[in-house]
């Protein structure tokens, strides 16, 4: 199988299982928006969930995966799976021990903070957030162990199990929300605590599943208390230190966003969270799929010294990614109000929340292609064991993000501050992509991306025409579907517009990019 074809096939595999996770996530968000709403409880939950998410990105699928996968893949290429498995067990043992100790310390500290908050009569939101963080802290140990297992399987070219794993959490989460729906009298604060408990259970189910898959792949997840000072283990930890600083800078950005969102308005953090999850539908399916596949692919190519193969993989992957991301961005911008209303509105989620979320969604969607480009470029450096360049870029964007966020909160009206925070994220993504591209060219010469200029111009043209067609058809479709009732009519109208927009884009793509479509179809077989 050729390199391009293997990448696309693996990306489709990851994308298919990620689609399942995203559909389940969409169901989850529809239930949560109606049962929890977009108020104080959701803001407290968003803030509390930031800690395990930050840890996951520092010591799970973020920095640790970036530091570990290239070394592990190189060991597989040089010495085989059996020796590489010893490296994996040594790294996993040290990570789990460190995270286990951190979990105990954090839980003890939170117990004291909760007591202090009760005595000093802190606000309801602060006390709720503290209780949620206490419940969710052990989740960081489970999800980091599971994410490490994902890295091992991805490095071995086994993408199905690792791509399915996130669906397990969504199944637990949805189960809890469905159970809560049977008890409408429960206070919202009690509901969100039960949701947090279900997330914790789901995390340990993910860990057990990943460990079983690792064992099946020939890398038994036993603890190993020797080999901690091995050269390759120390290389992983050196890379991890730098990568963690870069991931930490990203998480500082995220936590700053959350803090400033709390200052912007009591509901802003929850609203931004809902908008991000809608934006994550295309990004998570396509962008994450290519990012997941490209890290071990680049690592294998660089280990063999095949620079031309790496350039070809980069350009072909980016072309395929933009073929989906650009029209998805245009569609979400044009239909942001309809998408938000159909998916979220109802119960605790009112029309005002729909307007707020749709505004942020439109801005986030404008950056979809940039977010996807980042997910393709960052593995280029990590696969070469270069963690410092993404770190420098992250630190630069932290400063830019902080400046833009503070200006947004200080200068914009209350109803538009969260939109300013979203725009800051998009601007930082653009700056980050530009810097990564410049540094990659300095390191490796031309990346060969000029070959995608012509296809990109046609993608943009077809996407713009699609957006114009959707915009023009909206009033007529809304009138025709309105007879079905407010809710059913809105859902049917959205479905018709999405289908019409997709058909328009594909027809124009076939007319303008026939060769590219044929190439995609051949490589997908």
Main-chain phi, psi angles of 290, to 5 degrees: -70, -40
Main-chain phi, psi angles of 513, to 5 degrees: -135, 45
How far apart are the C-alpha atoms of 382 and 74, rounded to whole Å?
A: 13
Q: Does residue 382 share a domain with residue 490?
A: no
| Contact between residue 339 and residue 361 where contact means Cβ atoms under 8 Å apart | yes
Residue 43's pLDDT is what?
78
* Residue 349, strand partner residues: 346
- Domain residues for the domain of 241 are 5-447
How far apart are the C-alpha atoms of 137 and 118, rounded to whole Å?
A: 20
Residue 95 token pair: 């990570």
Q: Which residue has the tokens 């200068």?
A: 411
Main-chain phi, psi angles of 485, to 5 degrees: 105, 160
Q: How many domains does the chain have?
A: 2
Q: Is the pLDDT of residue 199 over 80?
A: yes
pTM > 0.75: yes or no = no
Q: Does residue 377 share a domain with residue 470?
A: no
Q: Is the pLDDT of residue 63 over 80?
A: no
Residue 144 token pair: 């980091």
pLDDT (mean) for 18-24: 82
Share of the chain above pLDDT 70, in %: 91
pLDDT tens track for 406-450: 999 889 998 899 899 999 989 999 999 999 999 999 999 888 888
Range from 333-337, 471-475, 509-513 carrying the lowest mean pLDDT: 509-513
Q: Does residue 458 share a domain with residue 442?
A: no
Residue 519: burial class (beta carbons within 10 Å; 0-12, 13-18, 19+): middle
Angle of helix 231-264 relative to helix 268-282, nearest 10 degrees?
A: 130
Domain boundary among 420, 447, 474: 447
Q: Which residues contact 23 (CB under 8 A, 6 or more apart)?
A: none
Residue 91 token pair: 């790294």
| Contact between residue 189 and residue 141 where contact means Cβ atoms under 8 Å apart | no
Q: What angle do CA 311, 280, 56 make, to 5 degrees?
A: 80
Q: Does residue 283 share a domain with residue 263?
A: yes
Residue 228 CB-half CA count within 13 A: 9
Range from 43-47, 231-235, 271-275, 405-409 carrying the lowest mean pLDDT: 43-47
Q: Does residue 157 share a domain with residue 14?
A: yes
How far apart are the C-alpha atoms of 399 and 378, rounded to whole Å?
A: 19
How far apart are the C-alpha atoms of 7 and 412, rounded to whole Å?
A: 44
Q: Which residues contact 143 (CB under 8 A, 6 or more apart)?
A: 52, 55, 56, 60, 203, 206, 207
Confidence grade of residue 1 (pLDDT, cut at 50, 70, 90): very low
How far apart are the C-alpha atoms of 94 and 232, rounded to whole Å?
A: 14
Q: Is 349 helix (H, G, I), strand (E, B) or coil?
A: strand
Domain boundary among 417, 447, 477: 447
Residue 92 CB-half CA count within 13 A: 28
Residue 236's pLDDT is what?
84
Confidence grade of residue 235 (pLDDT, cut at 50, 70, 90): confident
Q: Is the pLDDT of residue 483 over 80?
A: no
* More confident of the two residues 340 and 128: 340
Q: Does residue 492 share a domain with residue 351?
A: no
Q: Does residue 361 share a domain with residue 224?
A: yes
Residue 300's pLDDT is what?
81
Confidence grade of residue 117 (pLDDT, cut at 50, 70, 90): low
pLDDT (mean) for 271-299: 81
Residue 351: burial class (beta carbons within 10 Å; 0-12, 13-18, 19+): exposed
Domain boundary among 425, 447, 469: 447
Q: Which helix (H) or strand (E) holds 338?
A: helix 336-344
When the pLDDT of each residue in the chain is averaged and rounded to a whole number, the result is: 84
Q: Does residue 175 share a domain with residue 104?
A: yes
Q: Does residue 484 share a domain with residue 428?
A: no
Q: Does residue 287 share a domain with residue 266?
A: yes
pLDDT tens track for 336-391: 999 999 988 887 788 888 999 999 999 999 999 998 898 889 889 988 888 889 88
Residue 406 token pair: 């503070």
DSSP label at 449?
Answer: G
End-to-end CA distance of the chain: 10
Q: Is 347 helix (H, G, I), strand (E, B) or coil?
A: coil
Tell me how long the chain is: 525
pLDDT tens track for 135-177: 988 998 898 888 888 888 888 878 888 888 889 999 999 999 9
Q: Is the pLDDT of residue 324 over 70?
A: yes
Q: Does residue 499 share a domain with residue 376?
A: no
| Contact between residue 305 and residue 460 where contact means Cβ atoms under 8 Å apart | no
Main-chain phi, psi angles of 387, to 5 degrees: -95, -15
Q: Does residue 458 share a domain with residue 369?
A: no
Return the sign of the alpha-carbon dihedral for residues 501, 370, 337, 31: positive
């Amino acid at each position: 199988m050729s390199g391009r074809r293997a990448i696309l096939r693996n990306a489709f595999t990851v994308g298919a299982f990620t689609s399942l996770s995203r559909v389940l996530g969409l169901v989850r968000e529809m239930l949560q928006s109606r049962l929890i709403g977009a108020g104080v409880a959701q803001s407290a939950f968003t803030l509390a969930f930031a800690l395990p998410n930050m840890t996951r990105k520092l010591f799970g699928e973020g920095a640790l995966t970036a530091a570990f996968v290239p070394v592990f893949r190189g060991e597989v290429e040089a010495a085989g799976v059996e020796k590489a498995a010893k490296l994996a067990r040594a790294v996993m043992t040290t990570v789990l021990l460190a995270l286990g100790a951190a979990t105990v310390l954090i839980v003890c500290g939170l117990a004291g903070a909760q007591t202090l908050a009760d005595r000093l009569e802190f606000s309801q939101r602060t006390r709720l957030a503290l209780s949620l963080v206490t419940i969710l802290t052990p989740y960081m140990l489970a999800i980091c162990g599971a994410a490490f297992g994902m890295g091992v399987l991805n490095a071995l070219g086994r993408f199905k199990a690792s791509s399915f794993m996130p669906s397990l959490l969504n199944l637990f989460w949805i189960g809890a929300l469905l159970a809560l729906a049977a008890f409408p009298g429960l206070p919202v604060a009690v509901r969100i605590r039960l949701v947090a408990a279900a997330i914790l259970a789901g995390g340990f189910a993910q860990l057990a599943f990943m460990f079983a898959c690792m064992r099946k792949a020939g890398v038994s997840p036993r603890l190993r208390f020797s080999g901690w000072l091995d050269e390759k283990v120390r290389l992983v930890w050196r890379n991890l230190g730098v990568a963690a600083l870069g991931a930490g800078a990203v998480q500082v950005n995220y936590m700053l966003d959350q803090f400033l969102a709390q200052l912007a308005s009591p509901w802003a953090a929850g609203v931004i969270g809902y908008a991000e999850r809608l934006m994550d539908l295309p990004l998570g399916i396509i962008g994450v799929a290519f990012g997941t596949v490209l890290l071990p692919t680049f690592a294998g190519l660089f280990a063999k010294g095949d620079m031309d193969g790496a350039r070809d993989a980069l350009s072909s992957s980016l072309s395929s990614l933009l073929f989906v991301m650009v029209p998805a961005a245009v569609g979400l911008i044009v239909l942001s109000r309809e998408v938000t209303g159909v998916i979220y509105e109802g119960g605790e989620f009112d029309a005002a929340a729909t307007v707020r979320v749709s505004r942020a969604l439109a801005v986030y969607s404008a950056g979809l292609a940039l977010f996807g480009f980042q997910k393709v470029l960052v593995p280029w450096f990590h696969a070469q064991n270069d963690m410092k360049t993404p770190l420098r870029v992250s630190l630069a964007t932290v400063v830019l993000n902080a400046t833009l966020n503070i200006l947004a909160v200080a200068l914009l009206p209350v109803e538009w501050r969260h939109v300013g925070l979203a725009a800051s994220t998009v601007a930082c993504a653009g700056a980050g992509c530009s810097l990564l591209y410049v540094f990659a060219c300095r390191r490796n010469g031309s990346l060969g991306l000029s070959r995608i200029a012509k296809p990109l111009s046609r993608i943009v043209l077809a996407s713009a025409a699609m957006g114009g067609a959707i915009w023009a058809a909206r009033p007529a479709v809304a009138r025709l579907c309105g007879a079905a009732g407010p809710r059913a009519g809105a859902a049917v109208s959205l479905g018709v517009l999405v289908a019409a927009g997709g058909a328009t884009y594909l027809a124009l793509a076939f007319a303008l990019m026939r060769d590219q479509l044929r190439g995609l179809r051949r490589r997908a077989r």
